[in-house]
């Protein structure tokens, strides 16, 4: 089954893209979030100007290391007393930095939740394009060689009907004109959803759940894409596998980052 999905998913996504482009020739494109008609200037993105302004939050006060937003970090950043947030001082991450549109709240949270359903596929593509557009300078400085999406187990992909992180990754790769590896790494063990688990349970749940599928990534700088990051446990586990197999560096690009209290245990 997993081998069939590896073959079928790219064809399915390509067919969906062709269908959407054909529909645009007949029906004027609309914003994938609020459904209003798009202007000629905003149709390339798939989001109207109003939704863009509501979705994007300044991340100048986000920790560049883990993407976390916290009041303590804002205070330290204002006085330039620390390069990283207090959470980073307690944690050993296998990725070097995080690129994000903003906090997982309000309109951005609403948008991400929609991408977890089949009807939200075009929105996931639009959010990926927006992420690449807004964070292009920072990503270019990282100089990624390859883009990889955080893998979803084939059974969850089958039951959900959509793979939001993969749609975001495809869009980011296309916008930045970078190669994307499909299923270079797989989630070979089915895991419970992280959202309802404690920190200790999250780490145990995701441990050893990923496996590289013969892709030579030695010496490559990899941009790992996901839709939302909470504790960073999942991205950290994937990054650990990539670094173990020779990746020289791993950065994470996420649509949204859920802010964490610095008093929580490190992930």
**CA 33 from chain center: how many Å?**
18
Q: What are phi and psi of 227, to 5 degrees?
A: -85, -40
Domain residues of the chain, as ranges?
Answer: 63-257
- Residue 266: the pLDDT is 36
- Residue 5: the pLDDT is 46
Rounded (10°) CA dihedral 33, 34, 35, 41: -80
Walking along the chain (267 residues) 10 residues at a time, the average pLDDT comes out as 48 51 58 93 92 78 71 52 64 88 90 93 96 96 96 80 92 96 84 66 74 89 94 90 95 86 39
241/38 Cα distance (integer angstroms): 42
For the chain, the 3-state helix, strand and coil shares in percent, each to the nearest 5, are: 45, 15, 40
- Residue 93: the pLDDT is 87
54/118 Cα distance (integer angstroms): 23
Report yes or no: 70 and 29 within 8 Å, Cβ to Cβ: no
Rounded (10°) CA dihedral 42, 45, 50, 52: -150
267/92 Cα distance (integer angstroms): 8
149/167 Cα distance (integer angstroms): 9
CATH architecture of 63-257: 3-Layer(aba) Sandwich (3.40)
- Residue 92: the pLDDT is 77
- Residue 61: the pLDDT is 64
């Amino acid at each position: 089954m997993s081998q069939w999905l590896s073959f079928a998913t790219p064809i399915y996504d390509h067919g969906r893209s062709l269908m959407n482009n054909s529909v645009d020739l007949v029906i004027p494109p609309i914003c994938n979030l609020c459904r209003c008609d798009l202007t000629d200037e905003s149709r390339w993105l798939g989001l109207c100007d109003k939704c863009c302004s509501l979705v994007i939050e300044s991340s100048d006060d986000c920790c560049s290391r883990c993407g976390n937003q916290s009041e303590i970090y804002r205070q330290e950043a204002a006085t330039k007393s620390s390069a990283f947030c207090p959470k980073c001082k307690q944690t050993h991450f296998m990725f070097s930095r995080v690129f994000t549109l903003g906090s997982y709240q309000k309109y951005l949270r609403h948008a991400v939740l929609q991408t977890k359903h089949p009807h939200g596929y075009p929105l996931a593509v639009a959010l990926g394009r927006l992420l690449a557009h807004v964070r292009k300078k920072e990503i270019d400085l990282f100089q990624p060689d390859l883009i990889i999406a955080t893998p979803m187990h084939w059974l969850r992909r089958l039951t959900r009907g959509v793979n939001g992180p993969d749609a975001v990754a495809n869009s980011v790769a296309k916008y930045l004109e970078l190669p994307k590896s499909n299923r270079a790494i797989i989630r070979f063990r089915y895991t419970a959803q992280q959202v309802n688990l404690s920190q200790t349970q999250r780490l145990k749940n995701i441990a050893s759940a990923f496996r590289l599928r013969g892709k030579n990534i030695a010496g490559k700088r990899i941009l790992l894409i996901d839709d939302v990051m909470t504790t960073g446990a999942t991205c950290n586990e994937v990054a650990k596998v990539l670094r173990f197999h020779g990746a020289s560096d791993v950065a994470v690009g996420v649509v949204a980052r859920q802010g964490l209290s610095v008093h929580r245990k490190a992930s």
